A and B are shown apart, each in its own frame.
Chain A
Amino acid sequence: MIEALKARVNGDEALVRRGRFLSTTFLLEVGQTAWLISIFEGEVVSVTSGPFVMPSSSFALRAPEQEWQKFWSSRPPPGSNDLMALIKRRVLKAEGNLQIFMANLRYFKEVLAKLRQAGAEA
C-alpha cells in the first residue's frame, strides 16, 4: 500500500511543483513496519520497506498501525484527520531534523494523505 505513494504523488503535478525545492529521505513507521521514502525535487523516487540495519533519514514519523489506518480512511474521524491532530494526541511521533518537515509541512501532509481511499483530501 505504501508503495502506491510513488505513482500517486508523481501523478499530481501541483504537488510535485510545491515540492520542487525538496530533496530528502524520511522514515515512515506504520506500527512495526518501517519504510524509507526518498524524494528528489518533489518527486518520490523510491519507497523501500524495512527492516533496515542502519537506516539514514532526515526525520521520522512513527505511529501505531491503527492510527495510520484511521488517518488513511476516506473520512477520518475527529482527531485522526491530520498529522498535527495525531501529534496533538501524542500518537504520532515526529523526530529528527524537523526543520525539513515543518518547512514543507503542506507538502508532507498532502503526500501522506495520498494513501487515503479515493476522494479524501489532505
Chain B
Amino acid sequence: MIAQFEPITGRYMHLDLFGLKHRIYVEEAGEGTPLLCLHTAGSDGRQYRALMNDERITSSHRVIAFDMPWHGKSSPPPGWHNEEYQLTSAQYTTMILEIMAALELDRPILIGCSIGGRIALHLALEHPEAFRSIIGLQAGAHVDPYYDLNFLHRPDVHGGEVSAAIVSGLVGPDAPMEERWETLWHYMQGGPGVFKGDLYFYKLDGDIRDRVAQIDTRRCPLFLLSGEYDYSCTPEETLAVANSVPGSEVTIMKGLGHFPMSENPAEFLKYLLPVLEKIGGRDRV
C-alpha cells in the first residue's frame, strides 16, 4: 500500500493577542490570491479541507485556515483554566486582522461561515479596505437563542456529544454520509464550553442588525451563500441582509445546510467557483 499525502501544510504560529501569548495552528494549500477561511462556532479549520484539496481553487489561490484560539489544534491562552471563554466582536475582529498581518496577507478574499459569516459582515462594514472581497456563508445579522445554552457546558451533559447532536440537523439532507459525520466529529472534539463561548458572539454580542445596511459594497464586494436547510441562519435571514445591503449578491444553495464547505463540498463548489471566478475577473479589470 502506498501512502498518499494531501497538499495541505500546517504550522504553529506564536502571536500575542489581547496582551496574551497565543499558539495558533494555521493550515494552507495552493498559490495565488490569498483566500482566508473562517470556521464555524465550536469547530476548526478542517471544515475547509475540501477547498484545500481542490486544484480548481488551489491553482490560483493560497487557501489559508487557522484554528481560532481554544479550537482545533490551537491552544487557549495561559490562564484559561480559570476563565470562562466568551468570544466578543472586538476580540474576533482583532484576531483576524492580527493573523492576517502576521501572515503578511495582502487584501485576501475572506470566506467565513456562521460566526465566520457574521464577523465577515462586521469586517465588511468596519474594514472593507483590508479585503479584496468578502464571502459570507450562512451569514445573518442576528440569531435569537432557541435553546438553553447552559446545556452545552455542564458536568451532567457530555459537551462533545450534545454539541454534535445540537447541530446534526443543520447538515443538509443530501450530505454524503462520510462528510456529514466528519463535520459532526469536529463538534464532538471541541473543548469544554468552547461552542457555548462562541455562541456568546453569535447570539448576543455580535448582533449587527442596526448597522448592516451601512455596508458599502463599492469599497468591498459582498457575496452571500446560504444553505436551504439551515434553521440557525435561515435563508430568510440571509436574504434580509442581502436586501438591506445594495450591491451584495446572494444565492440560496438547494439541499445544503449550515456547513456547506464541510458537509457537501462537491455541491458547495458548484456555488463557490463562479463567485471566485467573478472576484478574479474584477481583479483583472
Bound together, the chains give a CA A87 to CA B230 distance in angstroms of 14
Contact of A106 among B148, B164, B173, B231 (CB under 8 A): B164
Query: Which residues of A have CB within 8 Å of B169?
Result: 81-85, 109
CA distance A79 to B227 in the complex (A): 12
Residues of B within 8 A of A75 (CB): 173
Which residues of the other chain, A, contact B85 by a CB distance below 8 angstroms?
none
Whole-angstrom CA separation of A85 from B166 in the bound complex: 10
Interface residue? B151 (CB, 8 A): yes
> In this complex, which of B162, B168, B235 has the most chain A Cβ atoms within 10 angstroms of its Cβ?
B168
Contact partner of A103 among B158, B170, B229, B232, CB < 8 A?
A: B158
Q: What is the CA–CA distance of A84 and B173 in the complex, to the nearest angstrom?
A: 15
B97 at the interface (CB under 8 A from A): no
Check if B8 is an interface residue, CB within 8 A of chain A.
no
Q: Tell me how many residues of A have a C-beta within 8 Å of chain B.
A: 21
Counting CB contacts under 8 A, is B146 at the interface? yes
Q: Which of the four size classes fits the interface of chain B?
A: 20 to 34
Q: Tell me which residues across on chain B come within 8 A of A7, comparing CB atoms.
A: none
In chain B, what residue has the closest Cβ to A80?
Answer: B231
Q: Which of B217-235 contact A (CB under 8 A)?
A: 228-232, 234-235
Contact among A79, A102, A109 for B157, CB-based, below 8 A: A102
Given A75-B173, A78-B231, A84-B231, A102 contacting B168 (CB threshold 8 A): no
A17 within 8 Å of B (CB atoms): no
A122 part of interface (Cβ distance < 8 Å): yes
State how many angstroms separate the Cβ of A6 from the closest Cβ of chain B: 23
Which of B146, B158, B228, B235 is within 8 Å of A84, CB to CB?
B146
Contact yes or no, B151 A98, CB < 8 A? yes
- Chain A contacts to B: CB under 8 angstroms: 75-76, 78-79, 81-85, 87-89, 98-99, 102-103, 105-106, 109, 120, 122
